[in-house]
């Protein structure tokens, strides 16, 4: 597993709808697109699967089966609940336990089927959280955030600059050091088809 710190984009938008739109379309904060980057990228090379209704662990189980059966090459799984404006410590403990269980199951299944070496798992979210806890024991919408990548060909470790609590933005968010589209470029390869312009992939895969 690789943990990439400080991922986001310049002039971050704190609206769920708008920031999700930016991440979905791989666009700049002042650019408005409606075409999903994953759909653009996968149109000529694979099918995409959206899965927002099943529990996360069950989604990982289903994903492992589909990968092993060569039924789908690109898929998106969803785990809701991280908008923790209150009781964050308790809620994160439960969410991250389910997240870890699902990913551990996915890894085990794909190692057993011989497909782990060709699999890349990457997280995404609309934004991070503020650094300071609020009065309700939660945090507000932020900016830079850590993201995870894992797979049989991923170089494990901690990447990017450590969070700087003395460099928070005006809304209390952590600084952004890595544009999120550099993660997408890992998926797409050097040509970065579908991102609108070229982004240098982060060197997180073994050659």
- Is 137 among the domain residues? yes
Q: CA 31, CA 10: separation in Å to the nearest integer?
A: 12
- Output the pLDDT for position 190: 56
**Confidence at residue 49, expressed as pLDDT on a 0 to 100 scale:** 63
How many beta carbons lie within 10 A of that of residue 18, not counting itself?
14
Which pair of structure tokens corresponds to residue 153?
Answer: 């060909």
Residue 112 pLDDT? 98
Residue 133: inside a domain: yes
In a domain, 105, yes or no: yes
Query: What is the residue range of 175's domain?
Result: 2-188
Q: b/e for 62-80, b at 16 or more Cβ within 10 A?
A: bbbebbeeeeeeebebebe
Instruction: List pLDDT tens digits, range 28-73.
Output: 999 998 888 877 766 655 555 667 578 999 999 999 999 999 888 8
Task: Find where tokens 């070496």 sit.
Answer: 117
Quote the pTM value.
0.90
Residue 202 placed within a domain: no
Local confidence band at 74 (pLDDT 50, 70, 90 cut-offs): confident
pLDDT at res. 207: 75
Asked if 160 and 7 count as a contact pair (C-beta separation under 8 A), the reply is: yes
> Taking 90 as the threshold, does the pLDDT of residue 178 lie above it?
yes
User: Is position 8 within any domain?
Assistant: yes
Contact yes or no for 56/102 (Cβ under 8 A): yes
Question: Is 127 a member of any domain?
Answer: yes
- Assigned domain for 203 exists: no
pLDDT of residue 50: 61
**Sole residue written with tokens 């999120």:** 180
Residue 63 has a pLDDT of 94
Is the residue at 193 inside a domain?
no
User: Which pLDDT does position 188 carry in this prediction?
Assistant: 81
- Looking at every residue in the chain, the average pLDDT score rounds to 90
The number of distinct structural domains making up the chain is: 1
Average pLDDT over residues 84-113: 97
Question: 179 and 6 in contact (C-beta within 8 Å)?
Answer: no
The pLDDT of 159-180, averaged and rounded, is 95
Cα 181 to Cα 195: distance, rounded to the nearest angstrom? 7
């Amino acid at each position: 597993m690789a943990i990439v710190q400080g991922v986001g984009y310049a002039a971050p938008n704190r609206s769920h709808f708008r920031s999700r739109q930016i991440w979905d379309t791989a666009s700049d904060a002042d650019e408005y697109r409606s075409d999903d980057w994953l759909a653009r990228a996968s149109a000529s090379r694979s099918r995409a699967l959206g899965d927002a209704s099943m529990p996360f662990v069950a989604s990982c189980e289903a994903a492992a089966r589909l990968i092993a059966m060569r039924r789908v090459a690109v898929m998106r799984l969803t785990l809701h609940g991280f908008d923790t404006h209150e009781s964050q410590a308790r809620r994160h403990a439960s969410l991250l336990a389910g997240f870890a269980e699902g990913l551990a199951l996915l890894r085990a299944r794909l190692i057993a089927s011989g497909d782990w070496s060709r699999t890349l798992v990457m997280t995404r979210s609309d934004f991070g959280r503020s650094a300071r806890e609020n009065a309700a024991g939660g945090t507000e919408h932020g900016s830079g955030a850590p993201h995870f990548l894992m797979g049989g060909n991923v170089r494990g470790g901690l990447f990017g600059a450590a969070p700087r609590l003395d460099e928070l933005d005006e809304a209390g968010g952590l600084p952004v050091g890595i544009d999120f589209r550099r993660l997408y470029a890992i998926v797409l390869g050097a040509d970065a088809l579908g991102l609108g312009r070229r982004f240098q992939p982060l060197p997180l895969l073994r050659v």
